[in-house]
Every structure is written in C-alpha cells, then in structure tokens.
Structure 1
C-alpha cells in the first residue's frame, strides 16, 4: 500500500470514528458529576471493613465482594496507585483498559465513569473522586525502567514486579496480567496523541472510591508513574480503606450515565444472576 493510500485509509477511519463518537456522545449526559470536594463523602466508621497504608514502592492484594468499595487516598500527594482487577470466579475475565476507553469514548476516568472487563461487563464504578487526574494509557515502570530513571539500586521496587507478585498471591502468573490503569497520575493527551505529565495537579488528601460490581480480586501497586518528572524515587504513602456495600439507588449515575454503561451493567447483572 502506498503512502497516499495509507493516508486516505487513516482519514476514512478517522471520519468513521468521529461519526460513531458523535452518535454515542449525543446520547450521553451533557456533563459528568463534579469532583468530590475533599471535605465531602466522609467515611462512617461503621462502614469500614478494614484500613491500611501501602508504603511507597509496595503493593497489596484485596478480595472485594459485590458492592463493597475501595477507597484510595493520596495521603501526601505523591503516590500513584496502579490497579488491576480480575473476576474472582473466573480470572480469565480481567480489567480491560482499552475497552474502558473505547466504550466510553474517553481516556479520562473520573467520578461517574466505569471500568470494563474484556467480556463487556462492568468491574468497577467510580463513585467518588476528588482528583480526576488518572491515567489509562502509559502503564507502569518495570525494573529496567526504574533503573534507567532513578539509578540501578536493587532496593527500588517497580510496578511490573509488584503486579507479578500480587498476581502470584491469587494463583496467577505473568500471563494473567493485562495493561493496568493508574489513579493519581495527571497525564494529558495532546491532539497528536503525545502523553505529558501535568505537574502540580496532585494534592495531599485526594481520594478516589471505586465500587465492585462483581466479586473481584484486586491488586494495587504504589510506585512512581513512568511520566512523573521528579528525579527522585519518592512515592508517598497510599491510604487504603475497604468499605461495606450499601444500597444502590435505581438512578445511580454510574449505572445510567451512558447507553454503553447501561448495556455493560445489563451484561453484568445477567452474569451475576446466572
């Protein structure tokens, strides 16, 4: 195929993408919910199942039942929470960052959005979010990436190794690790597709709360993001609180925000009721 033919094909594919996007977004809400204020959505002590802190560079595993919520807090404003999730009943179904982007016509995860699996079902809903600064594109650093950026210090942990260790605790191996998403990672996407870091966006005390829409296995790693411009390896602590399930309103925004979300929840509810 000639260069001209390739450019023509790209232009036609782009035109079709824009038409499909317009058809989808025309049915979506005009505006997503505003970010949660830092003083709002306070935790009721009676709702807490347990709480802990993931130190900078480390990881943790969680088993969430349907409806339970996972709150992550960027305590000092320097943590980055890489996350993976698997269907606890069938780990071949796992987080799919590409479908989470394509189905919702956006790479911006924030309050009101959901995270899809590779089966077209909803794994997680973002029910609270004070940050809105999250990344679904850049992935995480491996050992070589950390060494190239921060020096060859064997004590500096990396996201890839953390996720391999986390998966192993669930009886999984590296083949079960899909591309991940990262909360508290203020990455922007330019018109040409270039990724960049918006410095100064992260704030101490920022939090995000996600709700499990089926029984899940979840892994969280707290290592520097690949695009973090800081020359120092110094991720701060990440607060973690697992909260009890609570009643979901019929007009829950995450469930009704877009036609795509509605279909995703129909698939999820059908699966859970089988």
Structure 2
C-alpha cells in the first residue's frame, strides 16, 4: 500500500482532496463520537455531484436501509458510482440529516447560536478554493453520525457510536473532489458536545 497523504484535520476545520479512480481514503475518528460531513464532486465536471436521493433509491431497490454501510455505493446525480464504502468499523452512516448551518442552528437552538461555526461555512470555504459557491452545495454524507429515524419519520440526532480509532474507508470509482467538514456542532450530541480532530489517509495499491 502506497500512502499518498496522511494528515490530522483539527477539530472544527475543513479539508479537501482530489482522489483518482481506484485510490482509497480512510477517515479515522481519533477520539470517538466525531461527526464528519462530506461532499463529493466529479473532479472533471463538478456539475456531477453526490446525490443522496439516487444513492438511497438504489439501496432501497436492493432491499437496503436509509443508512450507508460497508458495500454502499455513493451515486452521483447522473446515477454513476462515485465511491464505495469498502471498510467500516462504525456500522452505519447518515445521509439524510444534512449539514449544520448558522441558519439551522438558530432555528433549532435559539438566536444566541446564530454566529456559531457550522459545517455549511466550512464547505463554502473549501468550495471557494475550486471556484464553486453556494449554488454548488448539495446533499452530503455524515460519517459516524447517529441519526435514528423514528416510526413517524422524524430524524433524531443521538450520541455517536464510533469508538476511538474507528474508521470508514472509501474507494474512488471515478476521479472525485472530496470536501470534508470536521463538524463543529456543540448544540447536539453528534460530536459528544466536544468536537475533536480526525485523521485522513489517502493511499493506493
């Protein structure tokens, strides 16, 4: 295995990388219970990007669930495979709850949270590096985030279930741009109310 990059992403920070088809990205939850939000774009044509709707529809057609787990294929808005989860110690990941923002913090937790750091701001920071902006924000994956779906269809954010050193590993199925927000949320338990660093290793065989 040839390691291309190995870095620690600080708590609350953004990160981005371009993966070539066949390369692997391992996201490691160093201290446990840290949500990691991710966006995916075709590196050659960013108008093609991750679609939670297409991904979940394909999973449902195969009898799968609303969660992403080992073997899950992340599909684009053109129905093409972007990445596959090839290894996972957590057991499931969310792609329904979206990314936190200053606006949603205000609605959910009160006006005093209006200017708290949020994943949407991390994503916009990284998107700007590639000439992209607000119009390019799409549905995202929340790795390590525990979002039970209640019988009535409500989403609830509960304590994360990942242990220290837990990881998820993806294989790129096309050249993809990956944007990461190491979630800064402190108003719900997705980060155990204490955002922590993560480690990201990019490799190839």
> TM-score, with normalisation over the residues of structure 1?
0.67
Alignment of 1:1-274 (within 5 A): 46-105=1-60, 106-146=65-105, 149=109, 151-152=112-113, 154=115, 156-199=116-159, 201-224=161-184, 228-229=188-189, 233-244=193-204, 246=205
Higher relative contact order (CA 8 A, sep 6+): 2
For each residue in 1:196-224, what CA deviation from the matched residue of structure 2 results, as whole angstroms up to 9, or x when unmatched? 23436221111000010000111000114
User: How big is the shift at 1:152?
Assistant: 4.1
Unaligned 5+ segments in structure 2 are none
Structure 1 or 2, whichever has the larger Rg, is 1
Tell me the distance in 2 between the aligned counterparts of 1:158 and 1:242: 25
SS in 2 for 1:187: coil
Distance change in 2, residues 1:200/1:122 (3 Å) = closer
User: How big is the shift at 1:149?
Assistant: 3.7
Distance change in 2, residues 1:195/1:153 (3 Å) = closer
Report the count of equivalent residues.
199
User: How big is the shift at 1:153?
Assistant: 8.1
Larger proportion of helix: 1
8 Å CA contact 1:58, 1:157 repeated in 2: no
For each residue in 1:160-211, what CA deviation from the matched residue of structure 2 results, as whole angstroms up to 9, or x when unmatched? 1111111111111111111111001011112221112343622111100001
Distance change in 2, residues 1:93/1:226 (3 Å) = farther
Tell me the distance in 1 between the aligned counterparts of 2:191 and 2:79: 39
SS in 2 for 1:107: coil
